[in-house]
Amino acid sequence: MFNKILVANRGEIALRVIRAAREMGVASVAVHSTADSDAMHVRMADESVCVGPPSSSQSYLSIPAIIAACEITGAEAIHPGYGFLSENATFVQVVQDHDLTFIGPTAEHIRVMGDKITAKDTMKKLGVPCVPGSDGGVATLEDAQALGEEIGYPVIIKATAGGGGKGMKVAQTAKDMERAFQTARAEGMSNFGNDEVYIEKYLTTPRHIEIQVFGDGKGRAVHLGERDCSLQRRHQKVFEEAPGPSISPEERALIGKVCADAMADIKYIGAGTIEFLYENGEFYFIEMNTRLQVEHPVTEAIFGVDLVREQIRVAAGMDMSFTQEDLTINGHAIEVRINAEKLPNFTPCPGRITQYHAPGGLGVRMDSALYDGYSIPPFYDSLIGKLIVHGRDRPEALARLNRALGELIVDGVDTTVPLFHALLQEKAVLTGDYNIHWLEQWLDSLPTDA
C-alpha cells in the first residue's frame, strides 16, 4: 500500500479522496491554486502545495506543477478525482515516466475511450450494443446528408473530441443538416481543437442509463448496476438515482455482464462508467468515462462499497475486495447536484457563504467543501455540493430527499436548491416517468418570472 498520495483536484471530490485515504492510513497531499489557499481540502489534507495562480491552466491543469508537488512531498501516487487531468492520457504517461502511480486506468484505455469514434468501434468489437451511425468521422456535408438519409432523421452530429454537451447538434430533418453539421464542427474546433464529427441516430425519448464497472487490471472485472441520469439540462446531469426506475433485474444482469466482460477482456483497471441511451428496452452505447463519476455516491449507497478506497487498493496492486457474487442491491439512492447558480437562468453565483448547515439523519450524506465564511471563487465549476439520500425503496428515498433539502442552509449565494424543491412536486419525477428531454421541456414551460 502507498504511504502517501497526492490529490490532483479541489472541492468536494478532493475531500472525498482525502477522507478515504485517511481511513486507510495513507497520508494525503492537497494541491491548490492561490484562489483556493483557504479551501477545505487544503485544511483537511496532511500536507498542501500551492501549484499556481487561479487560472486552472496554470494550476490544476499544470502537469509540471503537479509532478513537482509529488517530488517535493514524496507522494508515490496521484488520484485525479474527476475533471481537470482525470482523463488526460498524456498526464498519465508523464506520471508513469516519473515512477509514480496513477490511481486510475492506463493511458491507452483513456486514449481509446477519449476518442468517441475509436471508443464506439472498440465497444462494438467487445460486444457492447451501439447506436446506429457512421463507422467513423464524417468529412463532408455531402457524406453527412447521405448518411442522414440512410439512418433516417432525426440524427445527431457530435464532435469526436467533444464533452459536456459541446459540439453536439441535432438535425431533425434534411433541411437542418447543413446548419447542424457546420455548427458541430465549429464548436469542436473552438472547444477541443478538433473539428472531426460523427453522426448517430437521434433517439426521441431515451433515458440516460450508465453502468458502473470496476476492474483490477488483471483480467477480472465487475459491474455495480446502473444509475439513471436522465434529468439533465444542456447535457449536464442534475439528478441521479440508482437503481434506475425503468430497468428490470433481468435487463440489469444482462447489460451489466456485457459491460463487465468487456472490461475484463481489455484488462481495465479501476473505476469506469459505460454510458448508454435506453429506449424501448434497448441499450445503445454512447461513451465511456474512464474515471470516478460525480454521481458515484448513489452506487456506493446501494452496494455498501467505497469506490475510492477500491481505486487506491487496485492501483497499489491489491485484488478487489469483492466479487460479482458479493454485490447485491440494497434499497434506493438519489443524488442532487447543488450549484452556486441564480435561477431561472442558472447564472454562476460565486460569493461568500454567510451561513452553512448540512442536513443529517438516517440515510443522508452531504459531500461538500463549504463552511461558514468560505468564499466561492469565480474561477471554477459552480458545483458546491452533492446531497445523497438512501432509503429502503424509491418512495422512502424521495421523502428523505425532500426532508434533507428542507434542512440544508446555504446563505450568501443563490443556489439550485429551489429547483429540487419544485421537481419533487412533479408527478413525472415522483413516478420516475421521465427521459433526457423532460427537464428542459419542463423548464421551458415555466412562467418567465418563475
Give the residue numbers annotated as catalytic, written as ranges. Answer: 291
DSSP, res 318: P
**Rounded-to-integer distance, Cα 399 and Cα 393, Å:** 10
Cell of 75: 507522494
First-to-last alpha carbon distance for the chain, in angstroms, is 53
Q: Could you write out the DSSP letters of every residue in 380-399?
A: S-SEEEEEEEEESSHHHHHH
CB 180 within 8 A of CB 170: yes
**How many CB atoms sit inside 10 A of residue 338's CB?**
25
**C-alpha distances in angstroms, 433 versus 157, 161, 206, 230, 283?**
27, 32, 11, 10, 17
3-state SS, residue 259: helix
Q: How many residues does the chain have?
A: 450
| Cα dihedral 39, 44, 45, 48 sign | positive
The single residue listed with the C-alpha cell 479501476 is 270
Q: What phi-psi label fits residue 81: left (phi over 0), alpha (psi between -120 and 50 degrees) or beta?
A: left
CB 9 within 8 A of CB 84: yes
**Closest by alpha carbon to 423, among 449, 410, 405?**
405
**How many CB atoms sit inside 10 A of residue 350's CB?**
15
Residue type for position 192: F
**Rounded-to-integer distance, Cα 239 and Cα 310, Å:** 25
Enumerate the β-bridge partners of residue 357: 409
